[in-house]
Amino acid sequence: MNHPATRGLSLRDSLSIRVAPCGAAPTFAGADSGGKLFRSGYGAGIVPALLQFYRLAVLIAIAWLIREHHLRLRIQGDRPIAVAEVRAFLPDTHRLAPDPSPKGGLFVFDKSGEEIGYAARTMPQSREITGYSGPTDGLVVFGPDEKVVGVAIRHSYDTPSHVEDVKFDLLFMENWNGRTWEEIAAIEDLGEAGIYAVSGASRTSECLALSIGHRMRIGLPGENASAPGFRFRWQDGALAGIVVLGGLFAFWKQPKFQRWRPWFHVAVFVVLGFVLGDLLAQSLLLGWAESGIPWRTTPGVVLLGAAAFLVPWISRVPLYCTWICPHGHAQRWLMKVVPARWTLKLHDAAKPLLKAIPVLLLLVVLLVSFLQLPLDLAGIEPFDAYLVKSAGLATLCVAVAGLVLSLVIPMAYCKYGCPTGLLLAFVRRHSGETRPGLRDLLALGFLGIAFCLYRYHEPLTAWLTRA
């Protein structure tokens, strides 16, 4: 440590010096391209901070474009009720006419012009009510006696497999039949009214039920129904506990406390994975971007998502990926089971190609959102597989394939397949950063793509339709 460039430096400063080629002077990790040392407090503080704010700003800008795009679609009537939808419940339906009253639905007429029923959708009045990852647009059809003859799900931002579970649960869907508009509006407790959530899709079914009730109350003359207030359930408490304990294990290195770390991992794997099923995923994050963050109805999941992004953004500690994610724990356990001699060492040339996989998956997510492509995003990640009862085939295949590959390539899915992990790694601080890197350039490219998809949505959609 007697090199002239190191005299007068503290031990901490000395440890940040790069090892230079033989005969060359050592340089700081924060040195510029000319080898000059950044002044303390400028290059070592301002530039990394600016990079962090840039990364957060890019994510917020892309999320804003997605949000504005879907808000524009909803306001412009992207999904008007069609005659065929109502005809499924009232076969004589011939024409629909708007109702200018506070109900804001549609009168249903037969071929002779006689009014035979009434139809209403829950959107956009109930768009603030969200399930796992967004709102659900429901259709309620009333017969000539002003009682419900059928309820249908028109569109939902929740996981498609969960939506299908609700659609085909006749006990839930037909439970509305025979009730009047006023009777539904008067429901305060779903359980007391005999309406129970669908097993394996509780958040989606509850979202639909609350949306229908809210829509009916909005339509009552003189009523100014508001969205449901803040709700904190035991699931939210469990998620909050997981976040707090994960933070303690990540930052508090007291040996007696750290002794419980393996048991915490097991508990998180079981509770978060198989009991709650609220793992962070692209389908969830995209739903939030498209329809808003449901902090009133699912505060625990929102807290988990906020901690997953903000803790590494501030502290460089990958809280979610290292300490919480059940799929990450499963891969680490496999590393301990399989002998090191059985693992494969990837060629250096193959790593950049494999790391491009999650980048391409994020591009797919962007295209699905803006172009409304019929792809279940839960199927590109393994996280929905932990809800075994309602998991789709695609997500099960991704989960199994990722774990099998992890037997020979340690942490294979985390390193080379996880788009959600890539987003969390993007915002994470890294020591010694003094200039934008490849990830920052890619992020700017994604922002440009999002802007083009937002700005030129109509011609792109028309082109895809013709194709």
Residue-level pLDDT at 77 = 52
Give the burial string for 343-382 (b: 16+ CB within 10 Å, else e): eeeeeeeeeeeeeebbeebbeebbebbbebeeebbbbbbb
Q: What is the dihedral of CA 125, 204, 172, 128, to 10 degrees?
A: -10
CA angle 276, 278, 281 (to 5 degrees): 155
Per-residue pLDDT of 48-88, as tens digits, reads 889 999 999 999 999 999 998 887 776 545 577 889 999 99
Whether the model pTM is above 0.85: no
* DSSP letters for 269-287: IIIIIIII-----HHHHHH
Residue-level pLDDT at 78 = 57
Task: Give the span between the Cα atoms of 60 and 53, in whole angstroms.
Answer: 10
Residue-level pLDDT at 44 = 59
Residue numbers of the chain with a pLDDT score lower than 70: 1-44, 74-78, 222-228, 467
Residue-level pLDDT at 325 = 97
Q: What is the dihedral of CA 287, 291, 295, 298, to 10 degrees?
A: -50
Whether 80 and 464 have beta carbons less than 8 Å apart is answered as no
Segments making up each domain of the chain, as ranges: 81-218, 232-466
Residue-level pLDDT at 215 = 92
Residue-level pLDDT at 461 = 81
